[in-house]
Every structure is written in C-alpha cells, then in structure tokens.
Amino acid sequence: MKVKIPRNVKITTHPFTKFFKDFENVDAVKQIFGEKTKEVLSNLQVEFAGFRGYMGVSDIDGHMIISAYYLNNGDLTDIYLDIIHELVHVKQFMEGKELFDDRYSYVGRPTEIEAYRHAVEEARRLGFDDARICQYLKTEWMSERELKKLVKALNVEYVPPDKR
C-alpha cells in the first residue's frame, strides 16, 4: 500500500463570537459561566461540520461542533436551547469532568442532566409548556422509556412528543 494518511490533522474552527452574537448578554449563559462569560465565549471555538445530527462538544479540546445541516434547517429555538445545553458541556470540560462517562446511559449521565436542566430552565423562561419541552428533549436515538426517565429527572411532566 503506497499511500500516506495524515495522523495529526488540524480541526478547522472559528471563534464562537464571530457567528453567535450577544450570547454574553443572555442570563442563562451568565448563569453557566458567571463573571467569566465574556472571556469564555471570546476564547471558545466552534466547528461547523458536515454531519447530520445536532451539536456537541469535543472531549479533546472543548470546542463546540455543530452540524451545518442542523444550523441551516433546524428550529431556531431548538438550536438556541441546544447552544445553551452545549455551553454547559463546555464549562464541564473546563472543569475536567468526563463528558462521555460510559458508566451511565445517555439519559442518566450527570453531565447530560445538568446540561438539559439549564436548557429546560431557559425553555420555561421562553414560555414552553411540558408538551413542547418533551418535544424538544426527544431525539431519534432516545426510546420513549429513556425520554420518560430524562423528563422525570428534569421535573417535567411527560407528554408524548411529536417526532423532532
């Protein structure tokens, strides 16, 4: 085999604040980072990726990874809530927490519950009822049983959601 495969490729990222404006003024974000909000967001990098999905945080360097497809086609309020959710993961990464602890299921993982709790608090502030919150929380990889477990942990009344 006469090929070369690069092993130390650079991830192309951009400053979060270049694309996402005024998040440093959002109370939900200030609750996450406190007085370091502006500094953290100024230093945060975001990668727009070509995968179908939503968004996440790299467990290697803590930058955000966002599906360009989701950003272009997703519900704007859901995207906003997902950014709040992922910013909690950014903080968790900064604190040295294990973001993908395999000892827990996705819906039982303490880091996920904490991140969803912030997103649900913001959803309530926006006027979401429990039905809309359940719709927001439901993903295609989550069974109904798992969703019920998650909403219970978040003190949300379970209302069967429409498909997201």
**Dihedral angle of Cα 126, 64, 41, 33, to the nearest 10 degrees:** 60
Count of helices and strands (H, E) across the chain: 8, 4
> What integer pLDDT is reported at residue 114 of this predicted model?
98
> What integer pLDDT is reported at residue 5 of this predicted model?
67
> What integer pLDDT is reported at residue 12 of this predicted model?
80
For 111-160, give the DSSP string.
Answer: HHHHHHHHHHHHHHHTT--HHHHHHHH--TT--HHHHHHHHHHTT----P
> What integer pLDDT is reported at residue 164 of this predicted model?
44
Q: What is the pTM of this model?
A: 0.92
Per-residue pLDDT of the chain (164 residues), as tens digits, is 687 767 776 668 899 999 999 999 999 999 999 999 999 999 999 999 888 889 999 999 999 999 999 999 999 999 999 999 999 999 999 999 999 999 999 999 999 999 999 999 999 999 999 999 999 999 998 999 999 999 999 999 999 876 54
Q: List the chain domain ranges.
A: 14-153
What whole-number distance in Å separates Cα of residue 78 and Cα of residue 83? 9
CA distances from 156 to 50, 82, 120, 121, 138 (A): 33, 17, 9, 10, 13
